[in-house]
Structures are given as structure tokens and as C-alpha cells.
């Protein structure tokens, strides 16, 4: 008999959709619909903000959103349930440190309307943020909004390990090649999952999570079953209890079939279509 997981947590980029693509495989939509039909709570657990979630993600019908890698929890409509921000004092010091080191950085704010960045991040900003943020290129130290997440590119000229030691009050998380996120030390995907489980009075052992990146590791540590996508890094795969297929090869669908007693309307997992923006 298959275990009865009561919550399923999903990363977005590299899990629900291939990184850099603007569509969700039809098989993934079908799998999530099946989970909802049997009463499983489905929850986003992403480094993105709620306002940065494309409509084709939100329209799937998730119950809650864990955003900014654990710094923000909202309901299905984006109403704030829990917020864990970097203190303004720490954020200003962190930004000053980045400027002094000539780091390429970005700062994302609670309002979800603005992003400050500098250096050669134009392509990165355009790909991931410009559709949902007012992007402001700057080199000022002042920060007028509450900071939930800071991002920085590692450069051979920068010693980010020293920055990490200087700021023990923030997390330092590898996201992608040469790119790292900083957020409040309590703001992890794992801590957000624990909060939601307490709120819903559901045992963490009765939850499952799907992810592909190193910022998903605390998520994997906090659930009963961790599923790494086939396109995940080796570090993530080794940390997961199960490795499914690639996101574009019906990985979510196949894992849901394995771990849940569901009867799918999706025929065979071959020739999957996609839901586009």
C-alpha cells in the first residue's frame, strides 16, 4: 500500500518547468490535478516572489506559496501569512560590502514591485524579473524597502567566503552557476515547510517535495519523501530519496504515479503537450 502523503511541495524553475522556458508540461498539470482530486494540498516552494509567479503557474490552483526561498509564505491569493526579512541594518551592510568588492548584485523587496541591481546583470534581470518587477540599476547604498532576498554573482576577484563569515545572520545559498542568494538565516525552504505543517497540523513525515536545485536541500530535509528531478545536479540527486525523470520527460507525473494511488486522465506520459503563458 502506498503512503498517504498529505502535502506536496513543488519548486518552480527546473521542476514545474524547464529553466528559462515559459511553459509547464501538460503531464505535470495532470499530475497536480490528480493530487488535488484526492485531497492532497499542493504548495509552491520557490525562490521567486508571489508577484513573480506567471499566471500559468498560479492558475494551476496551488493552496499556498512559499516564496523568496522561505522568506515569505502567502495563501493562494498572495496574502501574507509569514514574513522573515533581512534586517535593514544587515541589508545596508551587505550591500555596502558588495559594492566595496565590486560584486554584481541584486536586491529584491517585500513589495514585489522593485528590484535593485548593478553590473552586468541585464540579461539575467530580463530573463527572470523584468516582466514582474520595476528593475532599477543602481550603485546607491540606501535601501528604502524591506529586503527579503539578495543575490550576487561570484567573481574570481571576490571572496564570498569572507562575506559569508562576516554575515552569519544570513543564509548563503548556491542557486545556479556563479550565482548565490542571501536571505535571513531563519528564512529557508525547510523552515517554511515546518511552519506550514504546524499551521495545518500535518506531520512532516506525511509530506513529499519535488526539486532540482541546491536551495531545495533544506526542503528535502524537512519532508517524508524527497524527489529530485532527472535534470537536478548530482548534489541534489544524492540528497534525495528518489530520482525521477527530467522535467521535460514527465518527471513530476511519473513520480506522482509511483507515490500516490491515483488514476490519471493523462494517457501514457508520451508526447506531452504544455501549458503556456
How many angstroms from the chain centroid is the CA of residue 159?
Answer: 26
pLDDT at res. 56: 93
Q: Say if residue 205 is in the same domain as residue 256.
A: yes
Instruction: Indicate which CATH number applies to the domain containing 171.
Output: 3.30.1240.10
Confidence at 140, pLDDT banded by 50, 70, 90: low
The answer to whether position 237 is within a domain reads yes
Please indicate, yes or no, whether residues 93 and 180 belong to a single structural domain of this protein: yes
Does residue 253 share a domain with residue 226? yes
Q: In this structure, is residue 2 part of a structural domain?
A: no
78 lies in the same domain as 194: yes
Co-location of 117 and 253 in the same domain = no
E strands, the chain, where?
A: 7-10, 23-25, 41-45, 64-67, 72-75, 80-83, 104-109, 114-117, 134-137, 147-153, 170-176, 179-184, 207-211, 225-228, 242-243, 274-276
H/E stretch holding 247 reads none
Domain of residue 173, residue span? 88-184
Can you tell me the distance from the alpha carbon of 169 to that of 42, in angstroms, rounded to the nearest whole number? 31
Q: Are residues 126 and 73 in the same domain?
A: no
User: CA 193 to CA 218: how far, in whole Å?
Assistant: 9
Is there a single domain that holds both residue 153 and residue 31?
no
The total of structural domains in the chain comes to: 2
Task: Tell whether 201 and 256 lie within a shared domain.
Answer: yes
Q: Residue 92 and residue 265: Cα distance in Å, rounded?
A: 52
What is the CATH classification number for the domain harbouring 30? Answer: 3.40.50.1000
Q: At residue 136, what are phi and psi to the nearest 5 degrees? A: -120, 115
- As a whole number, the mean pLDDT across the chain is 83
From the list 88, 128, 74, the residue with the least C-alpha distance to 106 is: 128
In a domain, 108, yes or no: yes
Q: Are residues 206 and 71 in the same domain?
A: yes
Domain annotation covers residue 130: yes
Last residue within a domain, chosen from 140, 161, 184 = 184
Residue 253 makes CB contacts below 8 A (sequence gap 6+) with 25, 27, 28, 30, 31, 264, 266, 269, 272
Same domain, 79 and 96: no
Q: Which of 184, 215, 230 is the last residue of a domain?
A: 184
pLDDT confidence of residue 275: 35
Residue 158 has pLDDT above 70, yes or no: no
Is 236 among the domain residues? yes
Q: Is residue 62 part of a domain?
A: yes
Q: Where are the alpha helices (DSSP H) in the chain?
A: 26-37, 55-58, 88-100, 122-128, 160-166, 189-200, 217-221, 234-239, 251-259
Tens digits of residue pLDDT in 66-95: 999 999 999 999 999 999 998 888 888 888
Give domain status of residue 1, yes or no: no
- Average pLDDT (135-159) is 65
Residue 201 and residue 259 share a domain: yes
Among 132, 155, 184, the domain-final residue is 184
Residues in the chain: 277
- Are both 103 and 64 inside the same structural domain? no
In this prediction the pTM is 0.85
Amino acid at each position: 500500500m502506498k503512503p498517504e502523503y498529505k502535502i506536496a511541495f513543488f519548486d518552480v524553475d527546473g521542476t514545474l518547468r524547464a529553466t528559462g522556458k515559459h511553459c509547464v508540461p501538460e503531464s505535470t498539470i495532470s499530475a497536480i490535478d490528480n493530487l488535488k482530486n484526492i485531497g492532497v494540498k499542493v504548495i509552491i516552494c520557490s525562490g521567486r516572489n508571489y508577484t513573480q509567479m506567471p499566471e500559468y503557474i498560479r492558475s494551476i490552483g496551488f493552496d499556498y506559496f512559499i516564496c523568496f526561498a522561505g522568506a515569505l509564505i502567502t495563501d493562494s491569493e498572495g496574502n501574507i501569512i509569514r514574513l522573515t526579512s533581512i534586517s535593514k541594518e544587515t541589508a545596508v551592510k551587505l550591500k555596502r560590502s558588495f559594492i566595496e568588492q565590486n560584486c554584481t548584485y541584486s536586491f529584491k523587496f517585500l513589495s514585489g514591485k522593485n528590484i535593485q541591481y548593478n553590473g552586468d546583470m541585464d540579461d539575467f534581470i530580463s530573463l527572470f524579473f523584468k516582466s514582474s518587477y520595476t528593475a532599477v540599476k543602481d550603485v546607491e547604498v540606501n535601501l528604502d524597502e524591506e529586503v527579503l532576498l539578495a543575490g550576487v554573482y561570484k567573481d574570481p576577484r571576490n571572496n564570498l567566503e569572507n562575506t559569508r563569515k562576516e554575515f552569519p545572520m544570513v543564509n548563503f545559498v548556491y542557486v545556479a552557476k556563479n550565482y548565490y542568494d542571501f536571505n535571513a538565516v531563519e528564512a529557508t525552504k525547510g523552515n517554511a515547510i515546518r511552519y506550514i505543517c504546524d499551521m495545518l497540523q500535518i506531520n512532516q513525515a506525511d509530506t513529499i517535495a519535488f526539486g532540482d536545485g541546491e536551495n531545495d536541500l533544506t526542503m528535502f530535509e524537512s519532508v517524508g519523501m524527497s524527489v529530485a528531478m532527472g535534470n537536478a545536479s548530482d548534489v541534489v540527486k544524492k540528497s534525495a530519496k528518489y530520482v525521477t525523470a527530467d522535467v521535460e520527460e514527465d518527471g513530476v507525473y511519473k513520480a506522482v504515479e509511483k507515490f500516490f494511488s491515483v488514476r490519471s486522465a493523462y494517457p501514457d506520459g508520451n508526447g506531452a503537450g504544455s501549458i503556456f503563458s
